[in-house]
Structure 1
Amino acid sequence: MNILKFGGSSLASPDRIKLVAETVQKHLKTGPTIAVFSAFGGVTNDLLYMAELASKEDIAYKEILAKNEKRHLDAVKALIPVQSQSGILSKVKNEFNRLETLYEGVFLLNELSNKTKHVVSGFGEILSSLIIAEYFKSIEAEVNFVDSRELIVCRNTNEKVQVSYEETYNNIQKYFSDKKSGLFIVPGFVAKTLQGVPSTLGRGGSDFTAAIFAGAMDVEELFIYTDVNGMYTANPSLVSQAYPLKNISYEEAMELSHFGAKVLYPPTLQPLLDKQIKIHIKNSFKAEEEGTVISKSSKENFRWVTGITHIDSIKLLNIEGSGMVGIPGFSKRFFEVLFQENINVVLITQASSEHSICIAVKDDEAEAAKEALDLAFEVEIDQKKIRPVHIEENVAIVALVGDSMKSHHGLSGKMFSALGNNNINIRAIAQGSSERNISAVIAKKDVKKALNTLHEQFFEVPSKELNLFITGVGNVGGKLLAQLQKQEKYLLEKLRLKVRVLGLSNSRQMAFNEEGIDLDNWEKALGNGETANKQGFFDKVNKLNLRNSIFVDNTASAEIASWYKEYLANSISVVTCNKIACADDFANYQQLQNLAREYGASFLYETNVGAGLPIIDTLKNLIASGDRIQKIQAVLSGSLNFVFNTYDATEPFYKTVEMAMKEGYTEPDPKIDLSGVDVARKILILARESGLRMELEDIEREDFLSQESLNSENNEKFFELLKRDEPEFQEIYKNAEKNNAQLKYVAQLEDGKAKVGLQEVGSDHPFYNLSGSDNIVLFFTDRYSQQPLIVKGAGAGADVTASGIFADVIRIGKK
């Protein structure tokens, strides 16, 4: 005997029903077949919703009832030839008439009992099975409609259902004792009580129906057809990298289904376990796919962890107080109260000090549990021995499941470390003595991030996914995107880093794609985006709540820099070439450093000094290794170095500045570079990284430009003043030439003081031969007191700045 079950999503339309029929006929060729059917997709929800509306005297239920009746009648007309429709149309209308009568009763009484809920919710399976049975008749199959309510007997306790297996098995075996061929259509989910009252087996009970028939008939295997390719390593709608499991054990399936894997209804395994009946979970729409086999052993799985799952419809209840410590029987009283209220406990954890007990229950049972417990411990609460039960909402459970977990050390550590590194706080932990399940309670908002983090840790090729949100896509940003695109394959193969750009913004527009923006067409994606908004950009990044999120700032905007603390406080790392934040008030600089540490985020700004040169990183390593800075001398402006390396008094100074602007060495407003403010910010950052508390106004600045030009309102006025001041630039150059010296704009930090200014540098100085736009830094330390440690190289330009940002992103990936 073949036993099959088809879920509601497999029956959502006439075309899908025809596809299901093809699968049934293939099984039918191998022998008699029992096919169990759910209601059409979404119908059971409607049936219960209509009952709720009717109980509230809301006549809107009538409109929904009419839509459902039309849907079923339309299915009949689409599936069955006209000449054969009258009988089934009459049956369908009769069932809807009965439903209408039940709803009218609920409406008039303004009351909805559990018994009525059971009765109305089972109509979907009866209707679908009647229609499908008639369809098989129309294609000349040998069909029998079997009303499972006449065979499956159950006992109801409130909303809990228990099957009377002995009576049920006898009924099924007796019915099929003389049935040796043909197709038997069975409605899932429905049953009757010992008193003959219609009932159901609980939501998802069609699986259970099929399992009951399989257990009664003692078959070797049961086929459950659904809309996915089996049971997955994680929920594929939340974890895009999840994949189907080929083999799992009954116990693993039980854990996964209990903790939210909706492919299988938890009680389904009960009738199959003792008889070791294999379960095949297969896709109705891809019946040729392997799917998942559930059996006694899952030894073919080579991983320690079989699956990751979660429950998000829970609440935590916590009871604590000194009156619990050392009191025998306290836990007995606690759980006895819950038993009497028929409340199921999903998770339990108790402190070894006995000072508190924490449990998780279904969210719709939390208030009843609190009320019952507070009443039971009323005396202790009045005497302040314990506190009233506290309910914590907006939480969820994530769980690792696997038979082999008990034989592998360190899995808990890996789990908690992975979650902690992504700033996912764990509220409670539970692990059974079988070590088949490790569960952690976390905030509901972190579920997707947690599942993806754990899946990456335990199931994927050892790699790390970085999710980038980039603002500023001009010179530097454009080069960064090009570098990311070019190095994508290298990063994945050599560094095991999968870098995705999920958000882009310039001053006008912003665009997001949770699957990743195509870097071949990022300009088009941005052009089709929405109006740029800094609050909106942050809100989107924060709402996505993805692991390893990085905000990249390629601008020179003070307003964008002011948002860094928001990102860091939400565990989103920040990488920036924008110097404003680190050169802002020391209190703000310190706050950003503290936020990064507190929330486990990275705050990296290597390109603030020397573009792509490892200047800040070198300084940090010196300090971390116990060295002490004596003096720093540096040429830190690629723009100014280019200008004074190029200017030779044969062409006006302003022409050289124009050339620097055209080559991209200066900011759009060249005063930022030529004023020395940019260099002052850089030496300030190095001073702070050296451990000094210093503000920008503490930097002594020697200007070579006139105050009038520095205060000019726009570039046009600025260049007019440069032309006017040409004789002064000529004099500065000729004096240096006469002294056989080069002009360099030098920054210096020594004895807790810093200054910047234009200097003449002699031929014996390391700065003398510094060419083009290169930067150079001399670190004089306790270890490098005679010969300084020198960092030298290209210190300006979009390419090298982008490469420095790229390097910071990689640093985060390698943490």
Structure 2
Amino acid sequence: MASKEIFIAVIGAGGVGKAFLSQLEGLSKRLSANASSPKLSLILVSRSTKTLYSPQYKALPFLNLATSLADSTNKPLSLTEIIDFLAAAPAKVVLVDNTSSQDVADSYPQVLSRGISIVTPNKKAFSGSYKLWQDIFSSAASSGAKVYHESSVGAGLPVISTLKDLVETGDEVTRIEGVFSGTMSFLFNSFAPTEGSGGKWSAEVKKAKELGYTEPDPRDDLNGLDVARKLTILARLAGLQVESPTSFPVQSLIPKALESVGSGEEFMQRLPEFDSEMEETKAAAEKEGKVVRFVGSIDVAKKEVKVGLEKFDRSHPIAALKGSDNIISFYTKRYGANALIIQGAGAGGDVTAMGVTADLIKVLGQL
């Protein structure tokens, strides 16, 4: 019996995209060794200015894929053209969106309504307007297409799947709290360690930027919006109708005077002028025998979501994090006072792609 063919299309071939394509090649080889497994055929890879695709829906070879994409003479397809191309395919299609594009996110209801499943780490689709959230899942429900987005919170950590399992099995989630940003985790673990004094705030931000832990402009991390997006997604899954990531209190760590400076370079040059503000925050926590951390919390009963600085005892799991790890604690009726804790690497191309690949495997099992 010929195995069922499933077409894969990939938008975004940057850090996460490259790691995913490598994992997809491995998955494809493993599945091909089992006659009853579906045959995966990569039919499209797209990045901002290039599109590599097979007009006849023949599988693209993985060998030298990056070079083939860079050298592609295919006419770059618009998003609408990509959707039309995939909708006309002679087999089931899974679109893997490895971008953080709002435009691609806004197209999800249209993609799903045409029977194309989606797997993605793109936070913007699930933390945008509440209407987009509703449209995504109603389109999937009506067409039967699947949509999975584990890596939109905590990279490859099983955060969303765990929360879904808690909710769908009838547990009552009362509170969610944690460190949701690898960047913020790294910064505070080195700025305000549980032992020792830590470095100056601006020096730690500079170090994090040099190590590639921050966005090219660190203000995109320090404004707290990345954490707010993740909290929006989890709050919605827990049953709260959160309108957007800006509809609840989010503490920005960008000094007011530097919010409007022209560039990330100028921001970094002037940040040392404001070190005393963060030193005062650290000293106030130390006086209480505590450390300061940047956390997000959701109080489900009170319907309160917030992001910002909190003080923790040095023995608290959030205080004891290392490196750029994330930690997410679920407090529920079943788990009582002892939270269900998920902890580990919350950033990085390989672990984020792992979450995407794991989602793809879930979708394959349902097509």
Normalising by structure 1, we get a TM-score of: 0.42
User: In the superposition, relative to structure 1, how do residues 666 and 491 fare at CA in structure 2: closer, same or farther (>3 Å)?
Assistant: farther
**1:583-662 equivalences in 2 (<5 Å):** 583-647=127-191, 651-662=199-210
SS in 2 for 1:759: strand
Distance 1:662 1:506 in 2: 26
Corresponding residue number in structure 2 for 1:303 = none
- The answer on 1:798 being equivalent to 2:339 is no
> Partner of 1:673 in structure 2?
221
Whether 1:541 aligns to 2:86 is: yes
- Residues 340-375 of structure 1 deviation map (CA, whole Å, 9 limit, x = unaligned): xxxxxxxxxxxxxxxxxxxxxxxxxxxxxxxxxxxx
Are 1:466 and 2:12 an aligned pair?
no
SS in 1 for 2:279: helix
Q: Choose from 340, 343, 346 the match for 1:789.
A: 340
Alignment partner for residue 523 of structure 1, among 66, 72, 76? Answer: 66
1:639 and 1:700 map into 2 onto residues whose CA distance is 20
The one of 732, 738, 741 equivalent to 2:281 is 732
Q: In structure 2, what is the equivalent of residue 557 of structure 1?
A: 101
- Give distance in 1, aligned partners of 2:190 and 2:40: 39
Aligned match for 1:512, one of 53, 61, 70: 53
The structure 1 residue matched to 2:19, chosen from 467, 471, 479, is 479
Change (3 A) 1:659 1:555: farther
Q: 1:640 to 1:650 in 2, by over 3 A?
A: closer
Aligned residue in 1 for 2:323:
772
Distance in structure 2 (CA, Å) of the matches to 1:578 and 1:681: 10
Letter in 1 for 2:346: G
CA contact (8 A) 2:219 2:254 kept: no
CA shift digits 1:116-136 (9 cap, x unpaired): xxxxxxxxxxxxxxxxxxxxx
1:531 is paired with a residue whose SS is coil
Alignment check: 8 A CA contact 1:466 1:498 kept:
yes
Classify the secondary structure of the residue corresponding to 1:551: strand
SS of residue matched to 1:725: helix
Answer whether contact 1:508 1:532 (CA < 8 A) is retained: no
| In 1, Cα distance between equivalents of 2:332 and 2:365 | 29
Structure 2 residue matching 1:502: 3-state secondary structure:
strand
1:764 shift after superposition: 3.1
Deviation at 1:578, TM superposition (A): 1.1
1:86-135 C-alpha deviation (Å, 9 max, x unpaired): xxxxxxxxxxxxxxxxxxxxxxxxxxxxxxxxxxxxxxxxxxxxxxxxxx
CA distance in 1, matches of 2:110, 2:215: 27
In the alignment, which residue of structure 2 is the partner of 1:754? 305
Equivalent residue for 1:810?
361
CA distance in 1: counterparts of 2:320 and 2:31, whole angstroms? 36
CA distance, structure 2, for counterparts of residue 539 and residue 712 of structure 1? 42
Instruction: Tell me the residue number matched to 1:695.
Output: 243
SS in 1 for 2:58: coil
3-state secondary structure, aligned to 1:626: coil
What is the one-letter code of the residue matched to 2:268? F
| Deviation (angstroms), 1:784 | 1.2
Higher relative contact order (CA 8 A, sep 6+): 2
Tell me by how many angstroms 1:655 deviates.
Answer: 3.7
Q: Cα distance, 1:535 vs. partner?
A: 2.5
The alpha carbon displacement at 1:700 in A equals: 1.3
Q: Contact 2:93–2:116 (CA<8 Å) still a contact in 1?
A: yes
Do the aligned residues in 2 keep the contact of 1:675 with 1:710 (CA within 8 Å)? no
How far off is 1:678 after superposition? Answer: 0.8
1:527 is displaced (CA, Å) by 1.8
Measure the CA separation in 1 of the matches of 2:355 and 2:188. Answer: 25
State how far apart, in whole Å, the 2-side matches of 1:713 and 1:778 are: 38
Deviation at 1:497, TM superposition (A): 4.0
Cα 1:720–1:550 change in 2 (3 A) is same
Distance of aligned partners of 1:656 and 1:486 in 2 relative to their CA distance in 1, 3 Å threshold: farther
Secondary structure of 2:109's counterpart equals helix
Alpha-carbon distance between aligned partners in 1 of 2:199 and 2:296, rounded to the nearest angstrom = 27
Cα distance in 2, alignment partners of residues 546 and 653 from structure 1: 56
**Distance of 1:694 and 1:485 partners within structure 2:** 38
Counterpart Cα distance in 2 of 1:794 and 1:614: 11
Distance 2:256 2:4 in 1: 52
One-letter code aligned to 2:86: V
Matches within 5 A, 1:206-605: 459-460=1-2, 463-493=3-33, 496-513=37-54, 514-529=57-72, 530-543=75-88, 545-605=89-149
Structure 1 residue 646 displacement after superposition: 2.3
SS in 2 for 1:500: strand
> How many pairs does the alignment contain?
354
Displacement of 1:793 in angstroms is: 1.2
The equivalent residue for 2:233 is 685
Q: Find runs of 4+ consecutive structure 1 residues off by over 6 angstroms.
A: none
Give me the identity figure in percent. 34
3-state DSSP class of the match of 2:103? helix
Asked if 2 retains the 8 angstrom alpha-carbon contact of 1:507 and 1:532, the reply is no
Alpha carbons of structure 1 residues 761 and 597: separation in structure 2 relative to 1, 3 Å: same
Question: In structure 2, what is the Cα distance between the partners aligned to 1:707 and 1:497?
Answer: 54
Structure 1: distance between partners of 2:211 and 2:17: 16
Question: What is the CA-CA distance between 1:532 and the residue it aligns to?
Answer: 5.0
The one-letter code of the counterpart of 1:486 is G
Quote the Cα distance in structure 2 between the aligned partners of 1:733 and 1:799. 33
Q: Distance in 2 between matches of 1:584 and 1:572?
A: 21
Matched with 1:715 is 264
SS state at 2:250 partner: strand
**Distance verdict in 2 for CA 1:510–1:602, change over 3 Å:** same
Change (3 A) 1:654 1:515: farther
Query: CA separation in 1, counterparts of 2:131 and 2:212?
Result: 33
Partner SS for 1:702: coil
1:155-194 per-position Cα deviation (integer Å, ceiling 9, x unaligned):
xxxxxxxxxxxxxxxxxxxxxxxxxxxxxxxxxxxxxxxx
1:106-125 map, 5 Å: none
Is the 1:664–1:797 contact (alpha carbons within 8 Å) kept by the matching residues of 2?
A: no
Partner Cα distance (2:304, 2:325) in 1: 25
Judging changes above 3 Å, is the alpha-carbon distance between structure 1 residues 711 and 485 closer, same or farther for their aligned structure 2 residues? Answer: same
1:797 is aligned with what amino acid? G
Which of these two proteins has the greater Rg computed from alpha carbons? 1
Amino acid at match of 1:783: R
TM-score w.r.t. structure 2 length? 0.90
Q: Which amino acid aligns with 2:81?
A: G
